[in-house]
Amino acid sequence: MRAREWVTEGTALSRRALVDLDGPSLLPGWTRRHVAAHLSLNAEALGNLVHWARTGDERPMYSSPGQRNADIEAGALRPPDDLRAWFDESASKLSAAMDELTAEQWQTPVRTAQGRQVPATEIVWLRSREVMIHAVDLGAGITFADLPTDFLEALSRDIRTKRDDAPEVRGPLPDTTAYLAGRPYTGVHTLDGAPAQPLPPWL
């Protein structure tokens, strides 16, 4: 499935962006260390859903939103080399676990952190979003223009189905997608030609 390729591409982009982890990220209140910790914890959390799909043993992504946030804060205190190694290990384990799922297991219903019931196939899309968008959020020079066009198209459709505060806009695809995701953008206008007003971060 194409989403698996997006996971591979996004993982490589994020790994490339894991530099100068003491610098600020593009996300308010988060350093690059926070983003790195979040990406590793997300891989582990999605690994819980893969386990659920493979065994039938219900295993939620996170024990609670509060614990998730506390784990990110604690993870952000790790030394840079540890954060990079954690990212590599967690991404590798998730990929290996996904490789083990059968066609039937991929159809197992699981629940996202937001409580949505989805087939296990959605796990791949969830991970591709994380590694692609946060590769940009790391603020190391990667932009939405560096992401695959078909991913940007899929992401734009996904965001529009999930947020009702986004007006119709026009502009280059990377910029309109960044706008919809609540990230920095340029050259995006509403259909009447007015400059698009920023949206809060999504994801």
Question: 29 in helix, strand or coil?
Answer: coil
Average pLDDT rounded to a whole number, residues 51-58 = 96
- Pairing state between β 109-111 and 117-119: antiparallel
pLDDT in tens, 105-155: 999 999 998 889 999 999 999 999 999 999 999 999 999 999 999 999 999
Question: 92 in helix, strand or coil?
Answer: helix
Q: What whole-number percentage of the chain has pLDDT above 90?
A: 87
Reply yes or no on whether the pLDDT at 1 is more than 70.
no
Contact 32, 21 (CB under 8 A): yes
How many Å apart are CA 10 and CA 146, to the nearest integer? 10
Provide the whole-model pTM: 0.94
| 6 confidence band (pLDDT: 50, 70, 90) | very high
Average predicted confidence (pLDDT) for the chain: 95
pLDDT in tens, 147-177: 999 999 999 999 999 888 788 999 999 999 9
Contact 143, 17 (CB under 8 A): no
pLDDT at 167: 86
Residue type, 72: I
pLDDT in tens, 170-198: 999 999 999 999 999 999 999 999 999 99
How many Å apart are CA 152 and CA 174, to the nearest integer? 7
Residues 6+ apart with CB under 8 A from 13: 131, 132, 135, 142, 146, 147
